Amino acid sequence: MPRVTVVLPTYNEVENLPRLATALLGLAVRPSLLVVDDASPDGTGAVADALAAAHPERVGVIHRAAKLGLGTAYLAGFRSALATDATHIATMDTDFSHDPEELPSLLRVNARIVIGSRYVEGGRVVGSPIGRRILSRGANAVARAAIGLATHDATAGFRVYQRAALEALPLESVLSSGYSFLVELVALAEAHGLTVVETPVVFRDRRDGVSKISRGEIFKGVMTVARLGARRLTGRTRREAPLAAATEDRKAVP
């Protein structure tokens, strides 16, 4: 059985985190959980600490000083997970957009990176407003055209990375700090010849809380695609300045 660590970035997810943690901890694959909380004002960090106290061998928490962005949260989680004996590192949203019951199906796929995809045969979206569906479809279409991606759902956060995949990638070269980190990481993986496989999942609109995708994040996403597209057109291979490491107050890894 793989040793799985699920990285869960959180910001104001006090309603969802306890239920999601219960669902994940009950899976037969017995994942460990690593919550990366960006100083949520609603008390999510305290809930994460309570979960870690109740399950000290399976739940860890990274507390960060402020809202520092999804991309840097993933990087912090990856670094901590790779310091353990985890063979697979998974990521998913904390709002139940991704069904925890589908995690085992992603783990059964033997590939360096597995993406739970809305946009391959069998995948679908339930409950999302039409505007958000158009935005998501459009973002992926533009990314595929501009960057030359083979992946259909490059913005999906439901993923499983084999340990070897993260160890093979120059993660410090990723510049995106927000949601566009997901697109840039797929582009980096494809450029390094890693196998990226998409398996169909059902994506559901969040149950509770508020979406974190703002106009600012959309703008950053456009700029990321433009930067990666320009790099592709010019054939530039020079490594750019690394993303600064995010500040962390304290951490505990199961």
Number of domains in the chain: 1
Question: Considering the domain boundaries, does residue 240 fall inside one?
Answer: no
In this structure, of 25-34, 107-116, 166-175, 231-240, the range with the lowest mean pLDDT score is 231-240
CA angle 146, 7, 176 (to 5 degrees): 30
Question: Considering the domain boundaries, does residue 198 fall inside one?
Answer: yes
SS3 state of residue 214: coil
Q: At what angle do helices 70-82 and 181-191 cross, to 10 degrees?
A: 50
pTM: 0.84
Q: What number is the average pLDDT over the span 101-116?
A: 97
Q: DSSP letters along 102-123, please?
A: GHHHHHTS-SSEEEEESSSTT-
Question: Considering the domain boundaries, does residue 247 fall inside one?
Answer: no
Confidence of residue 249 (pLDDT cuts 50, 70, 90): very low
- CATH number, residue 35: 3.90.550.10
Tens of pLDDT, residues 3-58: 999 999 999 999 999 999 999 999 999 999 999 999 999 999 999 999 999 999 99
Question: Considering the domain boundaries, does residue 243 fall inside one?
Answer: no
Q: How far from 200 is each of 28, 158, 223, 232, CA to CA, in Å? A: 21, 11, 28, 28
Beta bridge partners of 159: 91, 115
Question: Residue 144 belongs to what domain range?
Answer: 4-235
Question: Considering the domain boundaries, does residue 242 fall inside one?
Answer: no
Q: Radius of gyration over alpha carbons of the chain, in Å?
A: 17
Question: Considering the domain boundaries, does residue 172 fall inside one?
Answer: yes
- Do 69 and 178 contact (CB within 8 A), yes or no? yes
What are the DSSP E strand ranges found in the chain? Answer: 4-10, 32-37, 59-64, 88-91, 113-117, 124-126, 159-162, 196-200, 202-204, 248-252
